[in-house]
Amino acid sequence: MKKLVITLIVILCFFSLKAQESKIIGNWKLTQVEANSETETGMEVVFIFAENGVFKAARNAESRTMDVGTWNYNKKNHTLVMVSDMDKDFNGEASIVEVTKNALVYKKDGATLSFIKLAKMNPPAKVEMEKPILSFERDDLYDNEEGFNEKAEAKKLPWNITAIVNYLKDKNEVLFQYTSFPDSREAANWVVSTKFNYNEVDQTLGARDYSYAQNDYIDMTEQAISVDYFKENKEDFRFYPEEELDWYKVVSTNEILKTALGDFECTVVEGLGGFSEKFQYWMVNNQPGVYAKIVKVKDQEPPFGSTTVQIIKEESIENSEYYNQKAKLEHLMFEEEDFYTEGLENYKYSNEKDKLPWQDFHLLLEQLSNIKQLVYSLDQLNEDVNTFENKKLTADVFVEAENQRLKIDNIFNGYDSYNTAEGDVYLGDYENGNADLYPLDEGMYRVVGQEELTIDLGTFNCTVVEALNDNEKLKIWLMNDKPAIIAKVIKDPREDSSSHYSIYELQEIITSN
């Protein structure tokens, strides 16, 4: 009998442990950190406590995940034990304050971290390309009798420097799909370009790498090279505008490479460049200076090694889907100091509420009484794959006219029906200026004018507002004749913010009739 009781206790303890572990397993978005009497909110990072003790993390719910270590639940101490070599935030023992099916709160290193559980992650599509391996070594580039015979290999190359300069001086850019295979993270891709600038007056040619993800040049400065210098030192520019190879071997002079842009007859070169990096070049035979594909491998101990692949895309970025998506971007140029007098002494926009179109709370309740839902589209820039991702968000509308109460889901954080329990506004809140931009709650804002806005739902007269919070700049279009309905919002991340560039547009007004 005694053995049976002990066995039952062990079984109950086991199931109790498993019950707690099952609550912890999942995707947890960090929402708040309290430390040193200060509270920080607006984070996007996600901790993922997966099954079998696998610990992962992601920059946000739409980012790729990466393995950061292991985790386990210590029942005796009621702690979450995380082991990671990556960062102190992912390593150590945390005392669990609360864990439910929807909330997790723990204390660690003097800080209290609060999380909400996400139903699922929405990471970008995984890169289907297989990571290439360049297996050749330096000795493989040598001629058996003479070592590295540069003159012999150079004769097999399809271009000379004069042909390169003459061809590239009339070309604006070459666009590539760039895929990166870092050692310690999942593969990702984005769009890069080599832009060319020929100055006929100075007789110089410059080639400069540009990232359409960052909307900026990757190279710090333009390196314009004079045509005379090209001609005088032509051996130093055999692979212009790409990196010169210290040792190389031509492995094919007529390989047909199939790409989305078309088929290219290429000369294929394998070689070693600076810091013993391995390269494989596909040089387009009839387009001097243009590469259809480039593979670059840096062999170093993890996590410092990497492999990248560039494959030629559209001739011109203006014809690409990505360019058309990036054209949506309206970067907001105002800064926090613009809201203050010179020297940041006085706030300039204390009386902006009088300029807003929604002044009568009773009228607001009346006009919203038959509205059931507001449907928005969200275009959010995913920096990992350098493209916009679209989803539909639905905000529920709830009106209690007799109690002078209104509730609209604040979906302007990227989630359906989010924060509904805390989203009520009452007559007193509205009249006291605590809900000026409801359901948004930005306190620093200014009215910048009136605009006739055309969206898929129609054309509307709007009051345009610029606002700030800790993470973002916002531009907001308030419908003049539809109280509490926002037609459009742009969110542009502030410096050092982990937020994403986002565009919300009203798609549908669903009534209860």
205 pLDDT higher than 60 = yes
- Counted residue by residue, the chain has a size of 513
Q: Where residue 25 falls among pLDDT bands split at 50, 70, 90?
A: very high
Q: With 70 as the cut, is the pLDDT of residue 371 above it?
A: yes
Inter-residue contact 340 to 347 (CB < 8 Å): yes
CA distance 422 to 461: 30
CB distance 164 to 237 below 8 Å: yes
Confidence at residue 403, expressed as pLDDT on a 0 to 100 scale: 78
- Tokens 């170093």: give the residue: 300
Whole-structure pTM value: 0.46
The DSSP output letter for 147 is B
- Across 200-318, the runs of DSSP E, i.e. the strands, are 204-211, 216-217, 225-226, 247-259, 262-272, 278-284, 291-298, 306-312
Q: Distance (Å, rounded) from C-alpha 268 to C-alpha 157?
A: 9
pLDDT band at 433 (very low <50, low <70, confident <90, very high): low
Rounded to whole angstroms, the Cα distance separating 355 from 351 reads: 8
Tell me what the pLDDT averaged over the chain comes to. 83
Distance (Å, whole) CA 361 – CA 344: 34
* Pairing relationship of beta strands 387-400 and 173-182 according to DSSP bridges: unpaired
Separation between Cα atoms, residue 13 and residue 201, nearest integer Å: 83
Q: Which of 350, 351, 374 is nearest to 483 (CA)?
A: 374
- pLDDT band, very low/low/confident/very high, at 428 (cuts 50, 70, 90): low
Q: Where do the domains of the chain lie, and which CATH numbers do they carry? A: 2-118 (2.40.128.280), 138-325 (no CATH), 336-511 (no CATH)
Cα(first)–Cα(last) distance of the chain, in Å? 68
Give the pLDDT of residue 5: 43
pLDDT, residue 14, reads 45
Question: Is residue 215 pLDDT above 90, yes or no?
Answer: no
The better pLDDT of the pair 217, 96 is held by 96
Q: For the purposes of burial, counting CB atoms within 10 Å of the CB of 314, is it exposed (0-12), middle (13-18) or buried (19 or more)?
A: buried
More confident: 428 or 38: 38
pLDDT at 311: 93
Task: Look at residue 307 and tell me whether its pLDDT is greater than 80.
Answer: yes
Quote the CA–CA distance of 298 and 305 in Å, as a whole number.
5
pLDDT in tens, 253-293: 999 999 888 889 999 999 998 778 999 999 999 899 999 99
Q: How far apart are CA 410 and CA 395, in angstroms?
A: 7
Mean pLDDT of the region 58-69: 81
Cis peptide bond upstream of 241, omega within 30: yes
437-492 per-position pLDDT tens digit: 888 888 899 999 999 988 888 899 999 999 999 889 999 999 988 878 899 999 99
Tell me the one-letter amino acid at 267: T
Cβ neighbours of residue 263 under 8 Å, at least 6 residues apart? 256, 257
Q: What residues form DSSP beta bridges with 468?
A: 444, 473
Mean pLDDT of 65-93: 89
